[in-house]
Amino acid sequence: MSVDKDTVRQIARLARIRVAEDQLDPLAGELNNILGWIEQLGELDTEGVEPMTSVVAMAPQMRPDAVTDGGIPDKVVANAPAPAGHFYSVPKVVE
């Protein structure tokens, strides 16, 4: 797949990124280089290779699942405009 100026312009519009007209050609070249690397990766034989989530084999650290109030309810509501005790007060939206 090859990316041209019109494709870069379309991608920039979809991403809501302003790209100057003189930057479209260099950006197209960079995107074509990235796509070339992706095509090279697609040529690799990965049959029998297990997917990895990390380069280091490790088990996730488990912690006890306990429900608490965090121990700092006053700090949690400190910036609330109108706290009611340890809760947030909001205007009524349903009548």
* Residue 26 pLDDT: 94
Angle in degrees, CA 66, 87, 75, rounded to 5: 75
Q: Which one of 1-10, 13-22, 65-74 scores highest in mean pLDDT?
A: 13-22
**The residue count for the chain:** 95
CA–CA dist 41, 50 (Å, integer) = 16
Instruction: Outline where 21-91 has alpha helix (H).
Output: 24-42, 73-76
Instruction: Outline where 1-95 has alpha helix (H).
Output: 5-14, 24-42, 73-76
Question: Is the overall model pTM greater than 0.85, yes or no?
Answer: no
